[in-house]
């Protein structure tokens, strides 16, 4: 293949903005609070943070190492590092995972746009929970509006990806990530100053270890993996654009730190508001689209905060969707030698086609089920329980057992040396601890119901 100059991130901040953008998404704002709420609050949080540091960071580093060492897309990188072996299948699984994730993720992302629009129109005013719940049901079970918003969201994603790494993804995330942080802090301040807010904070931070079931522990690990965007090659792809003078350990720690901070801030934004308004601490996925609008419409300044809130979730979602699309685009561009523009269009259109089926599975196609699940539920299930967990498992096995210690340490040391003791600990985790821990969620997922 002809050697073409590769686009790259301009430096450390660009990488962090893009990778943290990938990590911080619907998982932090839409998924983390309700999973935490259902699994014992503070105790769950503690385990979650432990997994991020002990497992998440080493796996993230593995992905960056694989990407930068090979300078290639998610599939090409395995082919380069382990030629003539079937390891490229992991990369292929990542590309398939990108399709699956983006299809259902763009459904929910589209909903967030509808809710910005409704918030601006004052659509929640004076409505009870029941009404908001039925509004949400009738919106999601419709066809035209949810599909239209999904397509608009995919167009925004595609436009950024067409711009390339430095001029598209880096530029967009450099602006959006600080904006996101400011918006979240603004809503947090509003939420914790509501009377009765302390109860919610206590729920989020006070550990109750009796609630930590085996299932909760597995869910914490699954959520950590999903939230850090590990397991499908998004970070391999981004890793391939990282310059050699960027330190990978520090970068991984900062990205994981930013992701965890934003997950905790989402909790701080949501739980005090729930307790202040006397709502229960648990809530399913409807939390964001039903309970929060109910809260907004009854709190001072709620009109503005509702708009800000739904804008912030869409921004968080957009910085993630671009990284998923980039996995597919980098693959097609490099393996089939087509232009970025063409790859982006082909990728986006085919993902949107599957995405529309996910969106319609709340209405028109709700009776069309496979293994008893609608297409949306199946995609959600497959991504969290199959693709991401097995992806992460094989990625650490590859790094620990195939790539070789010397290669791994050599790549890690480019851009900043790490101490030999630390290197030994990291290798130990990647070789033994991470595969065992991730292997147990992968297997547990088949036996424990409702692990997503």
Nearest to 221 by CA among 56, 410, 360, 377: 56
Which one of 74-82, 245-253, 320-328, 368-376 is the stretch in contact with ligand TRP (CB under 6 A)?
Answer: 320-328
Q: Under a CB-based contact definition with an 8 Å cutoff, are residues 248 and 60 in contact?
A: no
Nearer to ligand TRP, 226 or 309 (CB): 226
Alpha helical stretches, state H, 82-233: 88-120, 129-140, 144-162, 171-192, 198-205, 214-227
Please report how close the Cβ of residue 278 comes to ligand TRP at its closest, in angstroms: 29
Please report how close the Cβ of residue 443 comes to ligand TRP at its closest, in angstroms: 20
Please report how close the Cβ of residue 383 comes to ligand TRP at its closest, in angstroms: 7
Which residue matches tokens 């066809």? 143
Which residues, 6 or more positions from 134, have their beta carbon under 8 angstroms from its beta carbon? none
Please report how close the Cβ of residue 256 comes to ligand TRP at its closest, in angstroms: 11
State the DSSP code for 160.
H
Please report how close the Cβ of residue 320 comes to ligand TRP at its closest, in angstroms: 4
Which one of 4-12, 270-278, 319-327, 393-401 is the stretch in contact with ligand TRP (CB under 6 A)?
Answer: 319-327
Q: Does 252 interact with ligand TRP (rule: CB under 6 A)?
A: no
x/- letters, 155..184, toward ligand TRP (CB under 6 A): ------------------------------
Q: State how far the alpha carbon of 354 is from the alpha carbons of 61, 95, 106, 357, in Å.
A: 31, 14, 10, 5
Upper half-sphere CA count for residue 20 (Cβ side, 13 Å): 28
CA distance 392 to 226: 10
x/- letters, 273..312, toward ligand TRP (CB under 6 A): ----------------------------------------
Which residue matches tokens 């232009």? 339
Subset of residues 380 to 409 that bind ligand TRP, contact rule: CB under 6 A: none
Nearer to ligand TRP, 99 or 408 (CB): 99
Structure tokens at 9: 């991130």
Nearer to ligand TRP, 246 or 260 (CB): 260
Q: Does 320 interact with ligand TRP (rule: CB under 6 A)?
A: yes
Helices and strands, counts by H and E, the chain: 22, 2
Within 10 angstroms of residue 451's Cβ, the number of other Cβ atoms is 17
Please report how close the Cβ of residue 323 comes to ligand TRP at its closest, in angstroms: 4
Please report how close the Cβ of residue 324 comes to ligand TRP at its closest, in angstroms: 4
Nearer to ligand TRP, 227 or 297 (CB): 227
Q: Under a CB-based contact definition with an 8 Å cutoff, are residues 452 and 384 in contact?
A: yes
CA distance 324 to 99: 8
Which residues, 6 or more positions from 417, have their beta carbon under 8 angstroms from its beta carbon? none
Nearer to ligand TRP, 65 or 101 (CB): 101
Residues forming a β-bridge with 369: 374
Subset of residues 199 to 228 that bind ligand TRP, contact rule: CB under 6 A: 226-227
Which one of 162-170, 206-214, 316-324, 337-345 is the stretch in contact with ligand TRP (CB under 6 A)?
Answer: 316-324
CA distance 20 to 319: 8
Among 183, 197, 324, 393, binds ligand TRP (CB under 6 A): 324
Among 15, 101, 156, 187, binds ligand TRP (CB under 6 A): 101
Subset of residues 223 to 242 that bind ligand TRP, contact rule: CB under 6 A: 226-227, 229, 232, 234
Which residues, 6 or more positions from 377, have their beta carbon under 8 angstroms from its beta carbon? 361
Q: Does 59 interact with ligand TRP (rule: CB under 6 A)?
A: no
Which one of 33-41, 318-326, 338-346, 419-427 is the stretch in contact with ligand TRP (CB under 6 A)?
Answer: 318-326
Tell me the number of residues near ligand TRP by CB under 6 A: 15
Subset of residues 13 to 42 that bind ligand TRP, contact rule: CB under 6 A: 22-23, 25-28
Burial class (CB in 10 A: 0-12, 13-18, 19+), 1: exposed
CA distance 146 to 176: 24
State the DSSP code for 209.
G
Q: At what angle do helices 291-298 and 129-140 cross, to 10 degrees?
A: 130
Please report how close the Cβ of residue 25 comes to ligand TRP at its closest, in angstroms: 2
Which residues, 6 or more positions from 261, have their beta carbon under 8 angstroms from its beta carbon? none
Nearer to ligand TRP, 227 or 359 (CB): 227
Nearer to ligand TRP, 31 or 190 (CB): 31
Residues in contact with ligand TRP by the rule CB under 6 A: 22-23, 25-28, 101, 226-227, 229, 232, 234, 320, 323-324
């Amino acid at each position: 293949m002809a050697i073409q100059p590769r686009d790259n991130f301009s430096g450390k901040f660009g990488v962090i903005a893009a990778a943290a953008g990938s990590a911080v998404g619907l998982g932090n704002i839409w998924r983390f609070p309700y999973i935490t709420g259902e699994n014992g609050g503070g105790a769950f949080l503690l385990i979650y943070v432990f997994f991020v540091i002990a497992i998440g960071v080493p796996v993230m580093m593995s992905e960056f190492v694989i990407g930068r060492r090979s300078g290639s897309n998610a599939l090409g990188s395995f082919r380069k590092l382990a030629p003539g072996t079937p390891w490229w299948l992991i990369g292929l699984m990542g590309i398939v995972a990108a399709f699956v994730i983006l299809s259902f993720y763009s459904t929910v992302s589209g909903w967030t746009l509808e809710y910005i629009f409704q918030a601006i129109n004052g659509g929640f005013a004076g409505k009870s929970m029941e009404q908001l719940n039925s509004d949400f049901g009738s919106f999601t079970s419709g066809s035209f509006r949810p599909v239209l918003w999904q397509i608009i969201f995919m167009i925004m994603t595609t436009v950024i990806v067409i711009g390339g790494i430095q001029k598209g993804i880096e530029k967009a995330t450099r602006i959006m990530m600080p904006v996101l942080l400011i918006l979240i802090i603004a809503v947090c301040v509003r939420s914790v100053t509501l009377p009765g807010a302390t109860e919610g904070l206590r729920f989020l931070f006070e550990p109750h270890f009796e609630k930590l079931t085996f299932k909760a522990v597995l869910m914490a690990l699954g959520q950590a993996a999903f939230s850090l965007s590990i397991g499908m090659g998004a970070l391999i792809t981004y890793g391939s654009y990282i310059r050699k003078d960027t330190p990978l350990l520090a970068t991984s720690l900062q990205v994981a730190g930013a992701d965890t901070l934003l997950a905790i801030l989402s909790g701080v934004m949501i739980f005090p508001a729930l307790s202040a308004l006397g709502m229960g601490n648990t809530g399913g996925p409807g939390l964001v689209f039903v309970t929060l609008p109910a809260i907004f419409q009854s709190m001072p300044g709620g009109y503005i905060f509702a708009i800000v809130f739904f804008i912030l979730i869409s921004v968080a979602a957009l910085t993630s969707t671009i990284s998923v699309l980039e996995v597919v685009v980098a693959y097609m561009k490099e393996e089939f030698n087509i232009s970025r523009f063409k790859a982006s269009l082909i990728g986006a259109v085919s993902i949107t086609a599957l995405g529309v089926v996910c969106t319609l599975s709340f209405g028109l196609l709700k009776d069309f089920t496979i293994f008893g699940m609608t297409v949306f539920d199946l995609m959600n299930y497959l991504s969290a329980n199959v693709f991401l967990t097995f992806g992460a498992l094989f990625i650490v096995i590859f790094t620990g057992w195939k790539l070789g210690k010397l290669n791994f340490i050599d790549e890690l040391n480019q851009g900043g040396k790490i101490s030999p003791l630390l290197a030994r600990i990291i290798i130990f985790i990647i070789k033994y601890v991470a595969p065992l821990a991730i292997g147990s969620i992968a297997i547990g997922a088949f036996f424990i119901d409702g692990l997503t």
